[in-house]
Copies of this chain bind each other. A is one copy, B any other.
Amino acid sequence: MAKEKKLVEAITPMAEDFAQWYTDVVKKAELVEYSSVRGCMILRPDGYAIWENIMHQLDARFKETGVENVSMPLFIPESLLQKEKDHVEGFAPEVAWVTYGGNEKLEERLCVRPTSETLFCELYKKIVQSHRDLPKNYNQWCSVVRWEKTTRPFLRSVEFLWQEGHTAHATYEDAEERTIMMLNVYADFCENVLAIPVIKGRKTDKEKFAGALATYTIEALMHDGKALQSGTSHNFGDGFARAFGIQYSDKDNQLQYVHQTSWGMSTRIIGAIIMVHGDDSGLVLPPRIAPTQIMVIPIAQHKEGVLEKAEELRSELKEAGFKVKVDDSDKSPGWKFSEQEMRGIPLRVEIGPKDIEAGQCVLVRRDTREKRVVALNELTQVAGEMLEQMQNDMYARAKAFMDSHMTEARTYDEFKDAVANKPGFVEAMWCGDEACELKIKEDTTATSRCMPFQQKRISENCVCCGKPAKSLVYWGKAY
């Protein structure tokens, strides 16, 4: 029992220190290990398996919309990075530079890609000639590097895994349609697979991507009341096309610039899964993304027939399409329960000699600890129902949490009070002036998260300067 205590005691309670709780979970659930390169993390099997599931499901959704995958170089020559003015200003300060190949100094420095707009522009310039070549809907799964000073596993690291989609279109409207389409793919994936409700909206100019006309975002709310930008989609208009000279001949044989987009989701979203669903016993994974959905744990496994029965149940559940394992290690059942809970495995099946005698087993949900004694011949059916119910309940709980952490602020005093005392999003009107965003950040540390697509008019004036309001903005502290 001493050992069992140790595993749970190893995590700091969420209410005591949320940041420490997060770090503890990431480490104790064996998602991540630190490497000797500052800010670069190792994704261990359980961490990477979550990313694999995200990749497979998101990739299938991309392909349904006509996206094709490619692989672009890791390196960008300095001169190429510099071609689009806003873009280089945004990224140059935080890139890693390769200056030597073997023992030779390079004539031109190469940066390790922080994002690949410039590489895709170079490709599109080569392969797009006619309107028949459009659209190009390309994507790649890869890692990128940004030389961040302060890093945290999943949330901010020097190297991280992501996908980056880059498309080229004949018109602004086509590009805008793709931009919104991909934002909707992200939002739908978050809500239906990850059980994470999100706010869809547009970033203010201050917060948009370097080189974009418009950046759209989905914002999720973590359990500590801070927001996490969970996916972004950018419409570049023809800005990059003009900088790189990407033109096509239209149906009337006139040369036109292409219109481009890019959109990305990264391993950051794993941070969101942890901080939206986790609890003081560790990770809680939504059944649709869990690498292992069910852990069968034998009780008194040294007794005759127990391990065999556990294996039989595993095989039956696997046959029915579940991702299932048996923990037949020589640890105690209690220790196994703790581990299964720490790893966030959605459902546990307990099976011991008495259960076998009674022709039953015990199912326990990870999130609510709801326990059901189930006849063995109903196991697969009930397991399916419980997982489905858990998936839905997790979303409903997260949605209720988000809805109850929204504060409308009509005056600046209300606003400051909300940011200081009411964790979550603050809804307030804004005049459209960057100066107000800067003042708000200075005064409260809150930033504009987005101008939500679902606008409402809660007052006529900017919450900061009092001038006529242009838009409702969601504000908040953010990761």
Q: Which residues of A contact B (CB under 8 A)?
A: 33, 35-37, 40-45, 47-49, 51-52, 68-77, 80, 93-103, 109-110, 112, 119, 122-123, 126-127, 132, 138, 142-143, 145, 147, 158-159, 161, 329
Closest partner residue, chain B, to A144 (CB atom): B74
Contact (Cβ within 8 A) B70 A145 = no
A442 to chain B: closest CB distance in Å? 25
Does the CB pair B69–A45 fall under 8 Å? yes
Contact A37 B77 (CB under 8 A): yes
Q: In the complex, A48 Cα to B45 Cα: how many Å?
A: 25
Instruction: Out of B42, B47, B48, B73, name the residue touching A37 (CB < 8 Å).
Output: B73
Asked whether B77 lies within 8 Å of A159 as measured between CB atoms, the reply is no
Among A45, A77, A122, A127, the one with the most B-chain Cβ atoms within 10 Å of its Cβ is A45
Q: A42-B123, A69-B49 are in contact. Are A102 and B37 (CB under 8 A)?
A: no
Q: B103 to A36, Cβ gap below 8 A?
A: no
Contact B75–A159 (Cβ < 8 Å): yes
**Known interface pairs A45-B70, A71-B43, A112-B74. Does A127 touch B33 (Cβ–Cβ under 8 Å)?**
yes
Rounded to whole angstroms, the CA-CA distance of A109 and B69 in the bound complex is: 33
Interface centre among A76, A101, A126 (most CB of B within 10 A): A101
Q: A41-B73, A112-B112 are in contact. Are A96 and B94 (CB under 8 A)?
A: no
- B95 in contact with A102 (CB, 8 Å): yes
Is A42 touching B112 in the complex (CB atoms < 8 A)?
no
Complex partner residue of A70 from B48, B158, B159, CB under 8 angstroms: B48
- Whether A69 contacts B42 in the complex (CB less than 8 A), given A77-B36, A93-B102, A93-B103, comes out as no
User: Would you call A71 and B97 a contact (CB within 8 A)?
Assistant: no
Complex Cα spacing A100 to B75, Å = 14
Which residues of chain B come closer than 8 Å to A48, judged between CB atoms?
68-71
